[in-house]
Amino acid sequence: MGSKTRKVWVKDLQIGGEAPISVQSMCATRTRDIDATLGQIALLEKAGADLIRIAVDNVMDVEALAEIRKSTKARLVVDLQENFRLADKVAPHVDKMRYNPGHLHHLDPEIPIQQKVEWLVNVAKKNGSALRVGVNCGSVAPDFLERYAKDHVNAIVESAVWHCSLLDKLNFTNYVVSLKDSDPRKVVECNKRFSQRRPDVPIHLGVTEAGLLPDGIIKTRVAFEQLIPRGIGDTLRVSLTVAFHEKDEEIKAGRQILKDIAEGKFISVPDFGKGLNIISCPSCSRVENTAFVELAQEVKRMSSDAKGHDIVIAVMGCRVNGPGETDDADLGLWCGPSSVTLKRKSETLGAYKYDEVLSKLRVELDELIAHKVS
């Protein structure tokens, strides 16, 4: 193991070069709930987290972040998603910021993407912050989806490469890149292709929405075991759908996978990828109803008799990323404060109460199975 990427510094943590692969996770608590978030940070630190990510969606979250910063020495990363305009407010309080190239076009659409990135880079430079270019399968920038309409993996890779070239032109090299998908095979393909194009850029590895235990760890291992021994990957996150107080499982799983790979212990999953695949997001501060985790578990229980069918069910925790991230699933659920929206591919079927949605999902699932076997 050990890659030949360049060194990126996040406060005192080196990512890339010959540094050990760092392990990170994300707070699932509401950022505004300062005590709960500090509790979550302490839990993750105790488990050995090198970096801890926090979501910031508005000015109230920024104010909370400033308070959180005063009470912890943990290396903090902020996930900007659609709110990249908050960067100058959050940067003084964090060590790294993640922007999603697929979300930059939403705000101020008349301003060119290059200009937005230049602004982000200037904020990062001024505050000594590292950056992550975080490309995600469910939110690839429309330009790249159009240009590489026949190859989704290429759309992800080319978007990442384009942003790297732009950052280089702006004389900013303190960045890492992530290329995530919920399908481990696509994660392997994206990261292999990217690392061939940009062997110098440190990579943050992850299988997005890997889901519930134990499948979430298995999916992640399948991808990491094919990448890490090839020297691909400099930092990682295992994204699991677990209750808030169990978030440290992500760090423990990441460390265990690294240990096993170092010792040559690999898992064999001969039929991997066949049959029912339930993907679910790891949850973050955007979850508006904590019943989300339980719902994901119930979906798994309820659909266990369908495990022989090649069907993807996606369960997402919020209305920010939920609608987009469920588009490719055969059946999708995304959770709002008091209702859950049910989808068939990109078509919305309706919004239902938490205690009603499972029976609606079951009807759709049975129809899908009947259609597949007929």
Long-range contacts of 251-259 (CB under 8 A, 24+ apart): 251/23, 251/24, 251/25, 251/44, 251/47, 251/48, 251/49, 252/47, 253/217, 253/220, 254/23, 254/24, 254/25, 255/23, 255/48, 257/217, 257/220, 257/221, 257/224, 257/225, 258/21, 258/23, 258/228
Regarding 157 and contact with ligand SF4 (CB under 6 A), the answer is: no
- Distance (Å, whole) CA 361 – CA 113: 39
Amino acid at 320: V
Helix residue ranges, H only, the chain: 34-46, 59-71, 87-90, 113-127, 142-147, 152-169, 184-197, 215-227, 248-262, 291-302, 322-325, 357-373
**CA dihedral defined by 258, 261, 263, 265, rounded to 10 degrees?**
130
Q: How far is the CB of 332 from ligand SF4 (least distance, A)?
A: 11
Q: How far is the CB of 100 from ligand SF4 (least distance, A)?
A: 10
Name the phi and psi angles at 180, rounded to 5. Answer: -115, 150
Regarding 242 and contact with ligand SF4 (CB under 6 A), the answer is: no
- Number of residues forming the site for ligand SF4 (CB under 6 A): 13
Stretch that binds ligand SF4, among 84-92, 121-129, 245-253, 279-287 (CB under 6 A): 279-287
The only residue of 216, 282, 324, 332 in contact with ligand SF4, by rule CB under 6 A: 282
The only residue of 47, 287, 306, 315 in contact with ligand SF4, by rule CB under 6 A: 287
CA atoms within 13 A on the CB side of 31: 27
- Distance (Å, whole) CA 332 – CA 343: 5
Regarding 103 and contact with ligand SF4 (CB under 6 A), the answer is: no
Alpha carbon 369 to chain centroid, angstroms: 30
Regarding 286 and contact with ligand SF4 (CB under 6 A), the answer is: yes
Regarding 293 and contact with ligand SF4 (CB under 6 A), the answer is: no
Q: Which is nearer to ligand SF4, 19 or 104 (CB)?
A: 104
Regarding 206 and contact with ligand SF4 (CB under 6 A), the answer is: no
Which 220-239 positions form the footprint of ligand SF4 (CB under 6 A)? none
Regarding 306 and contact with ligand SF4 (CB under 6 A), the answer is: no
Q: Which is nearer to ligand SF4, 72 or 289 (CB)?
A: 289
Q: How far is the CB of 274 from ligand SF4 (least distance, A)?
A: 26
Which 309-328 positions form the footprint of ligand SF4 (CB under 6 A)? 316-318, 320-322, 325
Regarding 188 and contact with ligand SF4 (CB under 6 A), the answer is: no
The only residue of 31, 40, 235, 283 in contact with ligand SF4, by rule CB under 6 A: 283
Regarding 27 and contact with ligand SF4 (CB under 6 A), the answer is: no
Which residues of this chain interact with ligand SF4, rule CB under 6 A? 281-284, 286-287, 316-318, 320-322, 325
